[in-house]
Amino acid sequence: MTDTHTPATQRVALVTGGSRGIGRAVSQRLAADGFAVVVDFAGGAAAAEETVAAISAAGGTALAVQGDVADEQEMAALFDRAEQEFGGVDVVVHAAGRMALSRIADLDLAALDALHRTNIRGTFVVAQQAARRLRAGGALVTFSTTVLAAQFPEYGAYAASKAAVESITLILARELRGRDITVNAVAPGPTATALFLDGKTPEQIDALAKTPPLERLGTPEDIAGVVAFIAGPDGRWVNGQVLRANGGMA
């Protein structure tokens, strides 16, 4: 189900990885805040259409478009489609990502290459398009991780990729001086998504839930609220920052 009718004054958000998990929560929150939302997905068209259907059922405007974030031609086409359907792009939320957990000594380097293709190259490609296409008053939001500070074992490859994401984000914020575009990263702590829960025992999940002082896992909606703040009018003075949304972890 797709609804592409949008008033000329409506702001437009493009969310990569918008079909499930945190990306879906962000897509739904931004739509509830009045954005027309382009939901990008790499695979799983059914999940993307479910996200669009939920947005439409709530009275919002959304469109699902397939595109590999690490493929510059597909991302250029994604931004083209957003501009064709809605007239431009005001907010880009880059929520697409990949995780591979392993001790550094044991990691299959093919898994490392796949992770870095999505998390580093993908972030760079999306950031390039955002830098070229975002309208004045716009925002780019990328995703890092609290693991950069927590330094959990088995997260070496993932944390390394997210360190690169933070560098790209903070440098781009400085490069866009004078454009009236904010660039920030959100670094979630343990958040109850399929990506996080996959492969963990109930005991591991319980231990991680007790790590923040608030003693619970975050929810996708918790993270979506932080993104909505940065992307909205109340977050315009936040620029070139990493916001650690983690319930009080270091």
Cβ neighbourhood burial of 5 (10 Å; 0-12, 13-18, 19+): exposed
The answer to whether 118 and 139 are in contact (CB under 8 A) is no
158 counts as catalytic: yes
What is the gyration radius of the CA atoms in the chain, in angstroms? 17
Q: What is the DSSP letter of 117?
A: I
Of 158, 165, 189, 212, the active-site residue reads 158
Task: Please give the torsion angle defined by the CA atoms of residues 172, 173, 174 and 179, in that order, rounded to the nearest 10 degrees.
Answer: 100
Cβ neighbourhood burial of 170 (10 Å; 0-12, 13-18, 19+): middle
The answer to whether 168 and 126 are in contact (CB under 8 A) is no
Residue whose pair of structure tokens reads 């259409």 in the numeric block: 49
Closest by CA position to 3, among listed 37, 42, 46: 37
Angle between helical axes of 72-86 and 122-133 (0-180°, round to 10): 40
| Beta strands per DSSP E along 76-231 | 91-94, 139-143, 182-188
Active site residues: 158
